[in-house]
Amino acid sequence: MTTALTADAGTLDGEAMFDALIEADGRIEPRDWMPEAYRRTLIRQISQHAHSEIIGMQPEGAWITRAPSLKRKSILLAKVQDEAGHGLYLYSAAQTLGITRDEMTQQLVDGKARYSSIFNYPTPTWADMGAIGWLVDGAAICNQVPLCRASYGPYGRAMVRICKEESFHQRQGFEILLTLMQGTEEQREMAQDAVNRWYWPSLMMFGPPDDDSPNSAQSMAWNIKRFSNDDLRQRFVSMLVPQAAVLGVTLPDPDLRFNDETGQYDMGEIDWTEFHEVLAGRGPLNTLRRQHRREAHEEGAWVREAAAAYAAKKNAARTQTAAA
Ligand code: FAQ
């Protein structure tokens, strides 16, 4: 379909071509004409997503030195490195839309850019590593698998690789919780406590309810988002219930029950006041997360300067060789 449209491109102006590609469920590439609002929406979503991956390294990064065994330490280290990689793919995808990495980073450290609410919660115990993998990566997969089909090519392609890695992350979290649940009474309590603390915030990752989501309708019309926030949240809960039974943990929602008519799990009311407080910067750790990022950015200035100087030296040598 896309090929046929490309062959006809000479007869269509940019806007008509864009509309036809979206209509045909084709892909928009960086050099294609696109409406300014589509570009802005993508920069907003992709950069927020990239920032989430980078800030998301902090809650788990804090446990690398305290992991209970060498094996656990190396797995956690690899996971946190994956998250850095995801941030880099996503910043690169956003750059194809005309924003620089420096601009995005500045927005993050200045507190002007959003990142996922979930990373403003603390990680006081080892079981939090399990709960993050199982619930946070689990929610991320539910939300991100449909994004592999996002209409913007570089975003969709980045998501394919990210989702493969997220599925490993989710399984390692599940396995940490399973090990704890098969351990002592104290370990089981620690696992349940972590699930209690991460469950509701993980449901908030999908964003506000559909009737309070200003961006969803347009993003779905442009084939960026494929499902609404509430649909994905529902899908996530249906996935969790049987997994919780295998783990032997309780999901902390007394209203959670299967509805024979809808074939879905009805759930209790999410505390949207808490969600809005976290988005407004008043979550448990918003200030600390951003401050750490700012400090790391400032302390890393010499690395960026050295890399740029090295690249300039290499380029100069290459130009000289070519001229000789
Ligand atoms: N946190 O109209 P909508 C991960 C904002 S990656 C903060 O529904 P939209 C991997 C939203 O930006 C997790 N802000 O917006 C990992 C908008 O504000 P704006 C990140 C939120 O864009 C695991 C406003 O509310 N994933 O976990 C949140 O259509 C473990 C109105 O909302 C992605 O970014 C929130 N939870 O839908 C890493 C996936 N929800 O910009 C380390 C890609 C909403 O108008 C360890 N993004 N807002 O000022 C998306 O799918 C979408 O952007 C949504 C929001 C679904 C997040």
* DSSP one-letter code for 152: B
Taking the chain (324 residues) in consecutive chunks of 10 residues, what is each chunk's mean pLDDT? Answer: 48 87 97 96 98 98 96 97 97 98 96 97 98 98 97 97 94 98 98 98 98 96 97 97 98 96 94 98 96 96 96 94 85
Comparing C-alpha atoms, which of 223, 222, 216 is closest to residue 147?
A: 223
Q: How far is the CA of 114 from the centre of ligand 1 (A)?
A: 8
pLDDT at 7 (0 to 100):
41
pLDDT at 1 (0 to 100):
42
State which of 52, 227, 230 you would mutate to test the pocket of ligand 1, scoring each by most atoms of that ligand within 8 A of its C-beta.
52
Write out the DSSP string of 188-225: HHHHHHHHHHHHHHHHHTT-S-GGG-TTHHHHHHTTS-
Burial 279-288 (b: 16+ CB within 10 A, else e): beeebebbee
Binding site membership of 214 for ligand 1 (Cβ less than 6 Å): yes
Binding site membership of 48 for ligand 1 (Cβ less than 6 Å): yes
Binding site membership of 128 for ligand 1 (Cβ less than 6 Å): no
Total count of residues recorded for the chain: 324
Write out the DSSP string of 263-275: TEEE-PPP-HHHH
pLDDT at 5 (0 to 100):
53
The SS3 call for residue 257 is: strand
pLDDT at 11 (0 to 100):
60
Q: In this structure, which residue's CA is closest to atom 46 in ligand 1? A: 56
Write out the DSSP string of 12-76: S-HHHHHHHHHHTT--B-TTS---HHHHHHHHHHHHHHHHHHHHTHHHHHTTGGG-SSHHHHHHH
Which residue is it, tokens 């809650």? 59
Give the integer Cα–Cα distance in Å for 302 and 288.
23
Give the integer Cα–Cα distance in Å for 51 and 268.
30
pLDDT at 229 (0 to 100):
98
pLDDT at 2 (0 to 100):
45
